Amino acid sequence: MSTSSTASTPGGRVGAVWAQDRSGVIGADGDVPWDVPEDLKHFSRTTRGHGVVMGRATWDSLPERWRPLPGRRCVVLTRDPSWSAPGAVTATTLAEALEAAAQPGEGADGEVWVIGGAQVYALALAEGALDVLAITEVDLDVEGDRAEQALAPEVDPAAWTAVRRDPDGGGWATAENGTRYRITWYERS
């Protein structure tokens, strides 16, 4: 898992990657409520060639042409053991999902990234399954009722240390469409 040239971590560790607005919103109406292509490139660079674990709702939210996500072993967590979709591995517990995603082969190398959504990030964090977080902050406030939005899990600042920022120094990058964003990688303190 390469978080930077100086902060790479050995195999067998699990990362989570997400993007959130200023207040932690990651999704609304079953979708990601902004368009930052540069962040999608970061997502792709981070996860390609690895196993990814996602909730069934996140799988459903992917455009059909991106299912399964190319170059990644896609494991979908659902409580319905009969659920299946072409190109997806079904898992009914987080442990089973992480194990399936860590199997090498089919374009994956044993490294695992949890890719959402809110329920699955919260579960993975609560179960202590995560070693690395790659969090994109998008500099906007999504409007709407928070009770109906998908939210990022609370990240305890005492438990996680920022090991890399892009851009360096805590500033913002500006997407071509004018939206500001920045990415921070964290490891367990």
Residues near ligand NAP, by CB under 6 A: 18-19, 26-27, 30-32, 54-58, 61, 77-80, 83, 92-93, 115-120, 123, 150
- Nearest-angstrom CA–CA distance, 85 and 59: 9
Closer CB to ligand NAP, 108 or 120, in the complex = 120
Helices 94-101, 118-126: axis angle to 10 degrees equals: 90
Closer CB to ligand NAP, 80 or 176, in the complex = 80
- Long-range contacts, 59-63 (Cβ 8 Å, 24+): 59/85, 59/88, 60/30, 61/27, 61/30, 61/31, 61/32, 61/117
Measured CA distances, 142 to 29, 34, 109, 151, 174 (Å)? 12, 8, 36, 11, 18
Closer CB to ligand NAP, 51 or 116, in the complex = 116
Shortest distance in whole angstroms from residue 93 CB to ligand NAP: 6
Shortest distance in whole angstroms from residue 10 CB to ligand NAP: 25
Shortest distance in whole angstroms from residue 89 CB to ligand NAP: 13
Shortest distance in whole angstroms from residue 6 CB to ligand NAP: 25
